[in-house]
Amino acid sequence: MEKQYSAQTLDLLLNFQKMEENGSAIYYRIAEREKNAENRAILLRIASEEKKHADIWKQHTGKSVQPSRFQIFWYTLLSYILGYTFVIKLMEKSETVGKEALRAVEADFPEARIIMDQEQEHEERLIQILDEERLQYIGSMVLGLNDALVELTGTIAGLTFALANTRLVALSGIITGVSATLSMAASNYLAERANGNQKALKSSLYTGAAYLITVVLLVLPFLLLPSDMYLAALIIMLITVILIIFCFTYYISVAKSLPFFQRFGEMALISLGVALISFFIGLIAKRVLGIDV
Predicted pLDDT at 134: 64
Q: Are residues 258 and 148 in the same domain?
A: yes
Which distant-in-sequence residues (6+ apart) come within 8 Å of 248 by Cβ?
141, 145
78 and 171, same domain (yes or no)? no
| Residue 222 and residue 167 in contact, taking contact as beta carbons nearer than 8 Å | yes
Number of structural domains (the chain) is 2
Q: Does 147 lie in the same domain as 123? A: no
pLDDT at position 123: 66
Instruction: Write out pLDDT tens, residues 94-126.
Output: 665 566 666 666 666 767 777 777 777 766 676
Which ranges of the chain would DSSP assign to H, the alpha helix? Answer: 7-33, 37-61, 69-82, 84-105, 111-129, 138-163, 166-194, 200-224, 230-255, 260-289
**In a shared domain, residues 155 and 64:** no
Closest CA relative to residue 231, chosen from 148, 156, 288, 149: 156
Same domain, 167 and 196: yes
Same domain, 159 and 257: yes
Q: Are residues 104 and 141 in the same domain?
A: no
Q: Determine, yes or no, domain membership for 1.
A: no
Indicate whether 74 and 26 sit together in one domain.
yes
Q: 187 in a domain, yes or no?
A: yes
In a domain? residue 254: yes
Query: Residue 2: inside a domain, yes or no?
Result: no
Q: Which regions in the chain score pLDDT beneath 50?
A: 1-2
Query: What's the pLDDT at 1?
Result: 39
53 and 90: one domain?
Answer: yes
Domain enclosing residue 90, as ranges: 7-131
68 and 127 share a domain? Answer: yes
CATH of the domain at 44: 1.20.1260
For residue range 235-285, what is the model confidence (pLDDT) as tens digits? 998 899 888 888 888 887 877 777 888 878 887 887 777 777 776 776 676
Cβ(246)–Cβ(260) under 8 Å? no
